Amino acid sequence: MWEQCPDRHYQPHETSQVDILIVPGLRNSGPDHWQTRWQQKLSTAKCVDMGNWERPHLADWRERLVRAVNAAERPVVLVAHSLGVVMVAHAAPEFEPGKVVGAYLVAMADVEDTTRSSPETHNFAPIPREPLPFETVMVASRNDPHAAWTRSETIANQWGAKFEDAGEAGHINADSGQGPWPEGLLSFARFMSRLG
């Protein structure tokens, strides 16, 4: 299970040497969401403006993410949540080779499962299954209402991602009580240390 973060001001290793691009999901991440808190805490982090947060369109979101990644002046680490996780997989083939050095993916929204996903996200199906060409961690919750645990694990394996168990943490957002999410920050720090 997850370790508790001993110091709430704990900073992931070497974040100053990369551009951390935050990729939220449907309706963006609110002020209490861990992505927003990390953006405020990490000096090189910024949120990618995906345009229409309420009615996302795959081609538009892909273009915006690819543009943000390819415009970065330093190596990029992506931090995605929910629909943003699926977006990373869609956009990955269009990133400049070697530009993205890592992706930290949390609580993937299963856009192929129409009983679990929002209708606004169905145009993001099917989910790409090709291995991602950079170091990747996928964190999943055992009781996420937007993706079955076994589906998340299967897709993580297809992507070549290290799969991490967040326990029963809902959709790993502020609504499920994971606002600050210190366990996630510690996990992210371990991920960053592996990137060297």
For residue 196, the model assigns a pLDDT of 66
Here the CATH number for the domain that contains residue 114 is 3.40.50.1820
Domain that holds residue 102: 15-195
- Residue 7 belongs to a domain: no
For residue 14, the model assigns a pLDDT of 66
- Residue 4 belongs to a domain: no
- Residue 1 belongs to a domain: no
Using pLDDT thresholds of 50, 70 and 90, give the confidence band for residue 1. very low
Q: What is the mean pLDDT of residues 174-188?
A: 91
Using pLDDT thresholds of 50, 70 and 90, give the confidence band for residue 73. very high
What is the count of structural domains for the chain? 1
Specify burial of residue 71 (Cβ count, 10 A radius: 0-12, 13-18, 19+): exposed
- Residue 3 belongs to a domain: no
- Residue 6 belongs to a domain: no
Specify burial of residue 31 (Cβ count, 10 A radius: 0-12, 13-18, 19+): exposed
Specify burial of residue 17 (Cβ count, 10 A radius: 0-12, 13-18, 19+): middle
- Residue 5 belongs to a domain: no
| Alpha carbon distance 28, 31 (integer Å) | 10
Q: Mean pLDDT across the chain, nearest whole number?
A: 92
Q: Helix, strand or coil for residue 181?
A: coil
For residue 16, the model assigns a pLDDT of 81
Nearest alpha carbon to residue 84 among 18, 130, 35, 45 = 35
Per residue in 149-173, pLDDT (tens digit) is 999 999 999 999 999 999 999 999 9
| Alpha carbon distance 123, 67 (integer Å) | 21
Per residue in 105-139, pLDDT (tens digit) is 999 999 999 999 999 999 999 999 999 999 999 99
For residue 133, cis peptide bond before it (omega within 30 degrees of 0): no
Q: Which neighbouring-strand residues pair with 167?
A: none
Residue 79 has pLDDT above 80, yes or no: yes
Greater confidence (112 vs 10) lies with: 112
For residue 11, the model assigns a pLDDT of 45
